[in-house]
Amino acid sequence: MYDLFTRSVERAVLASGFADESYPLIRMHRNDSRFGPAVARLRRDGRLFVVDSQSRGAWYLSPTAMASLLVHSDRDYEVTEQERTELHALFVRAAALTPGGVTADGRLNVLGYDAVVFDLGGVIVDESDLDAAICQHFEDHLPRGSKWKSYSQYANELERRSDPRWYDYFAQAADLGFESDLVARLHSNLISAVRFFPFAVEFVQWLKNQSVRLFVVTGCNSQVLNLRLEAYGLTGVFEASVTSDRGGELGNKEPSFETLLQQTGLKPDRILLITDGYTKDVLPALKFGLVPLLFVTGGRRNRAFKSDGVMPGDEIVLAMMANQKRTAAEFLFTDFRKLYS
């Protein structure tokens, strides 16, 4: 029998399936002196797993999430052979309940879905250095006569008002008085700042060759998205996109998924969503019934000028979790090759 605090820690992890130290429910517990002993006891009993992410601190995982990680990762995690066998069986049972099912070699069957939806930044590419460099240029070269003291002041005001121009560099450049071709030139000059995740593009092309319907749902602005897809060699690969200015909303993917379902007529449980974001993507996807696959080593590393995106506050995340039945990310991966090779 566990004490109340230990049960609370377990529920915090089970609620999200996967959590790192930035997650609200983990932060609320980990500053308590009882957190370490509670985690140790739950780990000993196989109720949760803790993994050193090597770069982002500890990961806290439910047994199902850990089982998926073992299947779809290139790393060797510290589990016993008995645990590995039991966890693999757990994964197969969980994956078998999804519309896609499992492959012959016991992995999530990504070809068993009618469509695969990608987030772009943080999944296929890390654009945060590019975004930070563009914002830095705006900061350093703010035209004389601008009513704004700095670009930071301007961007913060856009965020405060949830103005979709926060994601639209073309509209920002026009507002601030820059020349009309500046954004395209900056993308051309700074393209080397973009980091492609290993085998992500190859995975997308493999799905395309298998005649899988592909979509993008992103907080990016549509004009910026088209510019970037062209720069990345992905023009024409995706059937359609939902962006913050076309069917979406700043910092909230719920309207985006609703738009996707309305425009495509696809059944939500026949859609596999590949994303790096739990709070902005996985939670709303589960609300609408999509099947999320979380890229836990993805993400946007450069946080200058908030180039990792607008994040919902803790109170919003907790309210979303309290208002829906399914909240846990059960299927994870760290290596695109584990999904198709």
pLDDT tens for residues 307-338? 667 777 889 889 989 999 999 999 999 999 99
User: Mean pLDDT score of the chain, rounded to an integer?
Assistant: 94
- Same domain flag for 187 and 78: no
pLDDT tens for residues 84-139? 999 999 999 999 999 999 999 999 999 999 999 999 999 999 999 999 999 999 99
pLDDT tens for residues 275-304? 999 998 999 999 999 999 999 999 988 888
Specify if 338 maps to a domain: no
Residues 6+ apart with CB under 8 A from 169: 134, 183, 186, 221, 224
pLDDT value, residue 309:
72
Q: How many domains does the chain have?
A: 3
Give the C-alpha separation, 116 to 255, whole Å: 18
- Same domain flag for 217 and 115: yes
pLDDT value, residue 308:
66
**pLDDT band at 194, cuts 50/70/90?**
very high
Residue 177 domain boundaries: 128-191
- Same domain flag for 143 and 45: no
- Same domain flag for 202 and 321: yes
Give the C-alpha separation, 52 to 60, whole Å: 9
- Same domain flag for 284 and 312: yes
- Same domain flag for 284 and 203: yes
- Same domain flag for 43 and 173: no
Both structure tokens of 64? 């199902």
- Same domain flag for 292 and 239: yes
User: 273-294 burial, b for 16+ CB within 10 Å, e for fewer?
Assistant: bbbbbbbbbbbbbbbbebbbbb
pLDDT value, residue 56:
75
- Same domain flag for 257 and 119: yes
- Given a cut of 80, whether residue 251 has pLDDT beyond it is no
Last residue of a domain, one of 171, 191, 211: 191
Give the C-alpha separation, 176 to 150, whole Å: 10
CA quadruple 163, 169, 174, 175: dihedral sign = positive
> Domain holding 26: CATH number?
1.10.10
- Given a cut of 90, whether residue 167 has pLDDT beyond it is no
pLDDT value, residue 19:
94
Interval 143-162 mean pLDDT:
91
- Same domain flag for 140 and 72: no
